[in-house]
Amino acid sequence: MLIFVVSALLLGAVIYDIVSHRLPNYYLLLGLIVGFAWQAWTAGWGGVISGGAGLLTGFALFFPLYALGGMAAGDVKLMAVVGSFLGVTGTLWAGAYSLMVGSILGILYLLCKGHLGKFVVRYWLSATARTLISADENDAARHRFPYAIAIAAGTLLSQYWTPF
């Protein structure tokens, strides 16, 4: 039953992110309320504590990426909301899978746009010169990426395929 609730929340987030490139705070707050209500209903106060720990875990996983400019704040908040449903361990797995799926989708996007080579060369030069070389204005690496897709896919993948 949990997977259906989380799937519905993530489907809505994906639609919002694709259409508007934003994840509205009211939607994320609704997800957070549902997550804590779910935890309270299924496990009482222990579930609420688990949901809070999962929320903090999801936030802590993605906040460094936001701080470095690689992710939007809505994506960090969405991972925190997912954490309120899954608890700490589930959030760690969902976050790991989300990062893997996001990396694969990003590489595929750059490959489809024909910019993967430019991306690799630019970051290789940045690493060897130890200075940031920014992407051109029309470079595909500067396009907005609806990361809710990766969070949704990674979360669902973590619910069905976790090694432990």
Q: What is the pLDDT of residues 71-117, one digit of tens each?
A: 999 999 999 999 999 999 999 999 999 999 999 998 998 898 888 88
pLDDT over threshold 70, residue 140 = no
| Residue in this structure with the two tokens 């690493």, named with its chain if needed | 127
| pLDDT (0 to 100) of residue 162 | 75
Name the residue ranges covered by the structural domains of the chain: 2-113+146-160
Q: What's CA 98's distance to the chain center, in Å?
A: 6
Q: What is the pLDDT of residue 139?
A: 74
Contact 87/53 with Cβ under 8 angstroms? yes
d(CA 58, CA 86): 10
For residue 55, the model assigns a pLDDT of 98
Q: How large is the average pLDDT for residues 136-140?
A: 73
CA distance 127 to 51: 39
pTM: 0.89
Alpha-carbon span 97 to 146, nearest angstrom: 16
- CA-nearest of 6, 158, 17, 51 to 59 is 51
* One-letter amino acid for residue 107 of the chain: I
Q: How many CB atoms lie within 10 A of CB 22?
A: 15
Q: How confident is the model at residue 28 (pLDDT cuts 50, 70, 90)?
A: very high
- Which of the four pLDDT bands, split at 50, 70 and 90, describes residue 164? low
